[in-house]
Chains A and B, each alone.
Chain A
Amino acid sequence: MKNNEYMNPYVAGVLLGLVLIATVYITGRGLGASGAVKSVAATGVKAVAPEHYETSAAYQDYAAEHPDGTMKSWLVFEVIGVIIGAFISGLISNRIGLKLEKGAAITNRTRIITAVIGGLLFGFGSQLGRGCTSGSALSGMAVMSLGGIMTMMAIFGGAYSFAWFFRRLWIK
């Protein structure tokens, strides 16, 4: 693999599709991501404020679905794998390094702030929408789920609608 060059997107897409097929064949479910972040949040709350964890209905729903422990979830293990896989890919393509990317018109500080805000919105939205682009959109397309594809269209439609207003973040 040449340094810094990305794989042909169609080839990468097929590779991703094959991973998804294998996952569905073996486990009967698709891939996901936001659920693992939820596990981290729940674990944190349980450790820091256990009484609140016990009394809140939302956390108790989560606890009921994860009887073996708040971090023992399929998605948590998958995301650990994602970290490893991405790191390996970055290694062989020479893309490892502490850096960030931003539009030319803003400062690094602005970028970090917008990243946090964007993450906050996406985290909230992923819970409301019952999945993020990986869990709802990608896996949803693979199993032909109506809900998945509706969420996907809402995500892309929403992004396109707001794109113009935030263009200063990305383009000159």
Chain B
Amino acid sequence: MSELLQQWFPHVMQKPEMFLNALTETLIMVGWAGGFMFLFGLVFGIALTAAKEGGVLACKPVYQVLDKVINLFRSIPFVILIALLMNVTRLLMGTRIGVKGVIVPLVVGSAPFFARQVEAALCGVDRGLVEAAKAMGVSPAGIIFRVYLREGTAALARGTTITLISLIGLTAMAGYVGAGGLGDYAITHGYNYNRMDIVWAAVIAIVLIVTLIQAAGALIARKATH
């Protein structure tokens, strides 16, 4: 096994701790940013759904503002977002570099996309189910938690999968602020020195992470479908 790895990934095996570091950094970034993204995206997605015309707490101004803000942040390319958010990042995290420094832009970059995924997932919940709950005298909060989120679980799981995978794509750019990760590892240590085995190792690791996330998402979606 070890010999085979030496043969196929000579440069990776020279300093395996470097590869493991990069992998850990990616997982930390995806974990933290993913967690906050899920939280904020869910809140904004729910707010969009509830405030929308015909929603349980319909409020046109709130919807309009949220809608525009989400579109604004979705339009800014991630690399530029990192630069734009520098001061905010420093304020919140105490630094604007490293893994810590990239979490804020990652969340801001992915949460609006996730909010749209949540909106789409909840929009897919049959209006009749909402109407039935209203007729039963269920409160707006009850309808959000007991009808929208519960009945939309499978669609939410799929939306989360898609967003997490695109988040992994964003972490590849974390190298710009010295946050490391597999993307940075592949470019600075692999591609730039023409050590293609390093590039391949990073790619394989990312493919494995994506596959795991996809499988977990599919499993949750299946469990939630009866």
- Whether A associates with B in a native complex is no
**A interface with B by C-beta (< 8 Å):** none
**B interface with A by C-beta (< 8 Å):** none
